[in-house]
Amino acid sequence: MFSKEQISKILQLNYSGWGRFSRKLLDGITIQNRDGKLTVIGAMRQYKDNFMQIVQSERYGFKEIIDDILSANQCAEINYDDIKNLAGSPGIKRALWRSVRIIDEIVDTVGYEPKLISIEMARNEGEKVSTNSRKSQLEKMYKELIGDDADYNKSVIKPQLAKYKEKLNKKKYYLYFLQNGKCAYTGKPLNIENGLRECEIDHIIPRSLTKDDSLDNTVLVIRNENQRKEDDYPVSNDIQKRMVVIWSLLKKAKLMSPTKFQRLTSKKQLSDSRVAGFVNRQLVETRQITKHLARMLEEKYRNSSKKEKVFTIRAGMSSEYRDYHDLPKSRDINDFHHAKDAYLAVVIAQFIRHRYPKLEEKFIYGEYMKFKSKLLNSHDKHSFIIRAMGRDFTDESTGEVVWQRKTAYEIINRTMRYNDCLITKKTEIGDNQFYDQTIYGKDSGKTMIARKSDLPVAKYGGYSGEKDAYCTAIHYINRGNPVYKIIGIPVQVYMQDKIKPGSISNYIQNKYKQATVLIPKIPLNQKIEHDGNEQFIVSSSEVTNAKQLKLPYDIEYAVAVALKLGDIPQVRVTEEQASSDDYLRYKRDRQIERKQKVIDGIEKFWDIYVDKLSDQYQQFGSIIERARLVCDKYRNLSTVDKIKLIRLALAATHANSSNANMKKDFPGLNLPSDFGRMRGKNLDPTRFTFVYESITGLHRRELNGETLRLEQDN
C-alpha cells in the first residue's frame, strides 16, 4: 500500500496523543468556492494544506464561520470546571485557574477589559530523566556497536560512563556518549576530562528556522569545526562524505535515531513551504491546553470589532529575548523573574501582532526571505523573530512607525530593572499525607504514631512527624497564666472531622482544657508580619521568610551569570579571530566586558548581602554578625567557592522554606548548618499581624494579633 520511501518518511514523524474534534467542525461547516461546497475534512482531502492551515487561513473562509459560532456561544464567566475538563496535569490546571482569577481581579480593579492578553506557557520539561536508565541504555547500545566498530574503545568509554554517570542529564555529556566520544562532524575524539569546553552543541536544522533543541536536531562538535560550518541546511557534502559511515554505525546501534540520521544525510534544500512552516512555528504556541485557555479568554473578552485580544507565543521566547539582549535570569535571588517574563511575553506578543498581523505563513515567509542572506551569513544563532525585533519597522502602506528598536530596547531594559513586583503565595489546607513517610524502629527515641491501631509503637515502632492540615489560634489558662498559641490541626483529625463532625473541637479540648478558639482556620503559608519581618506560617512550630531579596542591578546581573555557569564567563573569541572579523571583534569586546562585570559583582556581593541582612532580615538575629565577620575571609576564597557560598546564602534568604548548610561546605566560616530556618515551639498569635492578600496582592487587609489579647482581657 505504501512505498518504501513513504514508509521511511512516515517513520520520521513524531506524534503524541490524539486530536479531539467534533463532527460539526470537520464535516458540518461548509463554504462555497469555485469547486463547489467544501467542508474542513473535504478541504484536507482536496488540498495539500493541513488542518490548522485550513481552519486558520482567511483564504478558505472557515475561520470567520468558526469565530461567529464561538462568539454566539460566548461565555460570560470561566469557572474551575471549564479548566478542569481540559487535558493536562493537575499542576498545569491549577496554574491556569490562578491565571484566570488574576486577570479577573485586575479587570475588576482597573475598571476596564485588557487590550491584549499574552500567554506563554513554560516549556514542557516532561518527566525527569533517570541517569541510571540512560547509563543502562547506553551500555546496551554499546554492545551493539562493539561488533561493528573496531574504533570503539571499551577500556576508555566504559570507565568514563561510570565516572560521569551523574552528568548524563546534562545534554553535552549525553551527546558525548551518544556519539561514542567523537565530534559529529569530524570524527575526532572529544576531551571529556576538561568538561567538554572545546565543544559546542550545533543545531542540524538551524535555530534561525526552528527552536528544535531535541536530541534529533542537535549534535556535539568541536567549536572551531562548528564555526566553519555555515548556518544552513543541509549539512555540507564534505562532512557527509567524511561521517556517513560513522553515523550509520551509530544509527544501527540505536545511538542515533532515524530522524537525526535523515537530517544529517539529506542532500535536499528545505522547500519553501517547509521553511515557511518552521518560521511560522517560531511565533505561535502549539500545545492544545494553551490554545483552549486562549479560546476561553477570547470568548470572554472579545468585543464587537472581533479583533483578537488573546495571543499565545511559543514557549521560551521570553528566555530567548533575555539571552539575545544579555538580560540573565536568576531564580535564586527572588521570584520577580516570573513577572518580568510575563512582561517580556506581552512585549513580544505586541511586536508580532503589529509586525505580522495576519500570521499568514506566506506573508511571514516572505519577510523571512528578505533577510535570509543576512541571517544565514550572520554569526547570530537566535530565531528569526527575536532578531526581527532588533530592526526598525515602518508600515509601508500607512507610513506609521510600528517598531523603533532603540526606543523599545531602552524601555524594556529599564523596566526589567524594576524590583517593585507584587508577589503572593497560595495558601493551602493540607489533605494529603498524615505523617512523614519514614517508619522508625521502637528504639529510635522519637515520639511516634502507631502504623495501625493494633501495632503498638513500643513493640513495632511507627511514624514520626504528624502533618498539619492547617493551624488554629487558641487561648487557654496554664497554672493560672493566660497562654496564646498557634497549634496545628493534624490532617488525620481534619479528614476525620468530615466524617464525624466535632472531631477537631474534641482534639483541641483534649489537648488544651477549656481552650478558646481565637482564629479557627489559619491556612499553611499564611502571611504574617512580626517585628518588621515578613514571614509565612508553614506549621504550628515554624515560620519561613516571606521577604523578597532586592539587590543592586550590577550585583544581580553578576550573580545570575555566575550561578548559571558555576564560574566566571570566559572570553571565547581569541585575539587572532577578532583581528580578521569585525563581528568577532565586537563579540570579543563584549565578552571581556561581561567577564569584568561578573568579577566585580561577585567581589562586592558579600558586603552588600550582609548590609541587606542587617537592614531587612533582623529575624536572623545573631547570625547577621557572624556573617559580617566572614567579609574578609570571603575575599580570600577562590572564585568557585565564592559562587558556591553565594548560592547557599541566597537559599537562606529566599522567600520559601529553603535553608543552607553553611557549616558542612564552609566549616571555617562559623556559619550555621541551617541558615535561614526559623523554628520555635510556641508561636504567639498576639505578636503577629496577619496579612490577608488577594490573589494579585493588589488588595489586602490586616488583623493585628494584639486585638485578640484585648478581646480576651475584656
3-state secondary structure 105-135: HHHHHHCCCCCCEEECCCCCCCCCCCHHHHH
Q: Output the pLDDT for position 669.
A: 94
Q: Output the pLDDT for position 264.
A: 94
- The residue to which cell 496577619 is assigned: 690
Q: Give me the torsion for CA of 410, 411, 414, 416, rounded to 10°.
A: -120
Strand segments, DSSP code E, in 348-410 are: 393-394, 401-403
Same domain, 253 and 139: yes
Same domain, 450 and 484: yes
Same domain, 64 and 171: no
Q: Do residues 675 and 610 lie in contact, with contact meaning Cβ atoms separated by under 8 Å?
A: no
Q: Output the pLDDT for position 52.
A: 81
Cβ atoms < 10 Å from Cβ of 286: 11
Which neighbouring-strand residues pair with 692? 701
Same domain, 262 and 160: yes
At a CB cut-off of 8 Å and minimum separation 6, what does 22 contact?
28
Q: Number of folded domains in the chain?
A: 4
238 occurs within a structural domain: yes
Q: Domain limits at 64?
A: 22-73
Rounded CA separation 495/493 (Å): 5
Q: Output the pLDDT for position 335.
A: 96
Same domain, 564 and 646: yes
For residue 334, with 0-12 CB atoms within 10 Å meaning exposed, 13-18 middle and 19 or more buried, which class applies?
buried
111 occurs within a structural domain: no
Same domain, 146 and 193: yes
Half-sphere exposure of 141 (CA within 13 A, CB side): 21
Q: Of 271, 287, 320, at which residue does a domain stop?
A: 271
Same domain, 549 and 675: yes
Same domain, 145 and 217: yes
- The residue to which cell 568577532 is assigned: 584
Q: What is the DSSP letter of 376?
A: H
100 occurs within a structural domain: no
Q: Do residues 436 and 460 lie in contact, with contact meaning Cβ atoms separated by under 8 Å?
A: no
Closest CA to 497 of 431, 560, 443: 431
329 occurs within a structural domain: no
Which neighbouring-strand residues pair with 32? 37
314 occurs within a structural domain: no
- The residue to which cell 566566571 is assigned: 568
- The residue to which cell 492547617 is assigned: 470
Rounded CA separation 629/607 (Å): 10
Which neighbouring-strand residues pair with 526? 537
Low-confidence ranges of the chain (pLDDT < 70): 1, 11-20, 70-76, 123-131, 146-155, 225-231, 272-273, 275-287, 303-308, 358-382, 432-465, 680-681, 714
Q: What is the DSSP letter of 446?
A: S
Rounded CA separation 488/470 (Å): 6
Q: Give me the torsion for CA of 374, 378, 381, 386, rounded to 10°.
A: -40
Same domain, 606 and 673: yes
C-alpha cell at 43: 478541504
In the predicted model, what is the mean pLDDT of the chain? 83
Strand segments, DSSP code E, in 437-480 are: 439-440, 449-450, 462-463, 468-478
Cβ atoms < 10 Å from Cβ of 501: 9
- The residue to which cell 538575629 is assigned: 621
DSSP letters of 218-247?
A: EEEEEHHHHHHS-S-SS--HHHHHHHHHHH
Rounded CA separation 710/714 (Å): 6
Question: What is the β-pairing status of strands 117-119 and 310-312?
Answer: parallel
At a CB cut-off of 8 Å and minimum separation 6, what does 30 contact?
37, 38, 39
Same domain, 561 and 665: yes
361 occurs within a structural domain: no
Q: Can you give the pTM of this predicted structure?
A: 0.73
Closest CA to 316 of 435, 211, 179, 206: 211
Same domain, 521 and 550: no
Q: Of 473, 490, 525, at which residue does a domain stop?
A: 525
Q: Do residues 289 and 87 lie in contact, with contact meaning Cβ atoms separated by under 8 Å?
A: yes
At a CB cut-off of 8 Å and minimum separation 6, what does 142 contact?
152, 154, 157, 158, 253
Closest CA to 360 of 643, 49, 602, 124: 49
- The residue to which cell 562532512 is assigned: 239
Q: Output the pLDDT for position 59.
A: 78
32 occurs within a structural domain: yes
Q: Of 236, 271, 306, at which residue does a domain stop?
A: 271
Q: What are phi and psi of 218, to 5 degrees?
A: -130, 145
Same domain, 497 and 553: no
pLDDT digits (tens, 9 = 90+) for 592-644: 999 999 999 999 999 999 999 999 999 998 999 999 999 999 999 999 999 99
Q: What are phi and psi of 220, to 5 degrees?
A: -100, 125
13 occurs within a structural domain: no
Rounded CA separation 407/415 (Å): 12
